[in-house]
Amino acid sequence: MLDKVQPAPVAQGSRLWRPKRVLLSRSAREWAHGRAIAERAASQGIPVFELLTDRLTLDLPNDDPRRAYAQAKSTLAVVVAPPSKRRLQPIAPSADWRVDLAEGCPAHCSYCYLAGSLKGPPITRVYANLPEILDELPRHLGQGTVTSRQSERAGEGTTFEASCYTDPLGIEHLTGSLSETVKWFGAWKADAQLRFTTKFDAVEPLLRIDHGGRTRMRASLNPSLFARHEGGTSPVASRLDALRRMAEAGYPVGLTIAPIIAEPGWEEAYGMLIADAGRALNGVAGLDLTVELITHRFTPTSREVLSGWYPGSSLDMGPDGRTEKRTKFGSIKHVYDAPTMKMLRRFFETEIAAQLPKARILYFT
């Protein structure tokens, strides 16, 4: 018998993901949070399949990659995160530690970094054992190396990033995991900060939480010129409006301008985006605003996966203006070459100083 839960409050007019099916694994059923997610989906009329085991049987068509992709993208699986997934990893430069509430995302961004990091069909998995995930955090307090080294981040304490493998706000109306985590940080009263970044706008469930100022939301943004690369996300103006509402609710906020795409027209497009952000946040009392700047990059694997998922994409992943960078794990990343990076960096630093004088730039990468 599933627990009865109230549907999460949602923003009027938000475009909310509605998966075609929810798979509830046997172990996930043993967790109240897992049962609550299934019940919430069922209350919205989404078919919920209770599995007899923890093995996810996806039944995706072998002979039709487009259909297989579409079916995977419209599947939400409620599973239990094993100990290996609950072990926190350092995640510079964004935060000290990565904490995963879920894995996968329902949107269709043609540059999505998850294409190179997650294996298998692109379903979204949400973790039912949220209490076990949160239990891992206290032992990492004071252990990070990223935020303690940066004066721009003074006062943040140890930082925990929840958006590395998912967009937690894009699935919040079904999972409730982000609200629970924000509440948990609010009650923790430790020198710590939860961070999440999002390309969605449905912040309604977060607005009245006792967050204690220990969660920073960042809106992940690109100008309308590149909106065609961000299928299934909320419009940029709504993301900025959501960010303003969060700032008015007392949250520290930020902009993640990512991925910065140096295609024709980029200067004017990003200049307008930064001006729009300035207008959206204008007049917010006590605004605590940061900016993170992440240029477009890809690996040979992510390029191959993305080319299969989005064969018609106009995103430039060719060799011009690019150079290879070796990661600390020895793999190759294709990033913009040094002159392009220099030009981008100068532009963003100048524009942000002019249009968002209260903002602190945390990093450019």
Q: Which residues bind ligand SF4 (CB under 6 A)?
A: 105, 107, 109, 112, 114, 167, 199, 233
CB 77 within 8 A of CB 50: no
Distance set, CA 17 to CA 12, 102, 208 (Å):
14, 15, 22
Nearer to ligand SF4, 112 or 293 (CB): 112
Task: Give the angle 352-355-358 at the CA atoms, nearest 5°.
Answer: 75
Q: To the nearest whole angstrom, how small is the minimum distance from the Cβ of residue 290 to ligand SF4?
A: 19
Q: To the nearest whole angstrom, how small is the minimum distance from the Cβ of residue 339 to ligand SF4?
A: 26
Nearer to ligand SF4, 38 or 109 (CB): 109
Q: To the nearest whole angstrom, how small is the minimum distance from the Cβ of residue 98 to ligand SF4?
A: 14
Tell me the residue type at 179.
S
The encoded tokens of residue 56 equal 């996810």
Nearer to ligand SF4, 114 or 178 (CB): 114
DSSP assignment string, 227-241: GGGEETSPPHHHHHH
120: left (phi over 0), alpha (psi -120 to 50) or beta: left
Nearest to 183 by CA among 210, 154, 155: 210
Q: To the nearest whole angstrom, how small is the minimum distance from the Cβ of residue 229 to ligand SF4?
A: 9
Q: Cis link prior to 259 (omega < 30° from 0)?
A: yes
Q: To the nearest whole angstrom, how small is the minimum distance from the Cβ of residue 285 to ligand SF4?
A: 30
CB 238 within 8 A of CB 245: no
Nearer to ligand SF4, 34 or 104 (CB): 104
DSSP state, residue 166:
B
Nearer to ligand SF4, 39 or 167 (CB): 167
Distance set, CA 356 to CA 247, 254, 279 (Å):
15, 11, 9
The beta-strand segments (E) located in 101-199 are 102-103, 108-109, 124-127, 158-161, 192-198
Q: To the nearest whole angstrom, how small is the minimum distance from the Cβ of residue 323 to ligand SF4?
A: 23
Q: To the nearest whole angstrom, how small is the minimum distance from the Cβ of residue 103 to ligand SF4?
A: 10
Nearer to ligand SF4, 51 or 115 (CB): 115
Q: To the nearest whole angstrom, how small is the minimum distance from the Cβ of residue 27 to ligand SF4?
A: 25
Q: How far apart are CA 349 and CA 15, in angstroms?
A: 33
Nearer to ligand SF4, 251 or 310 (CB): 310
Q: To the nearest whole angstrom, how small is the minimum distance from the Cβ of residue 168 to ligand SF4?
A: 10
CB-neighbour burial class of residue 212 (10 A; exposed 0-12, middle 13-18, buried 19+): middle
Element (H, E) at 139: none
Nearer to ligand SF4, 196 or 270 (CB): 196
Nearer to ligand SF4, 168 or 278 (CB): 168
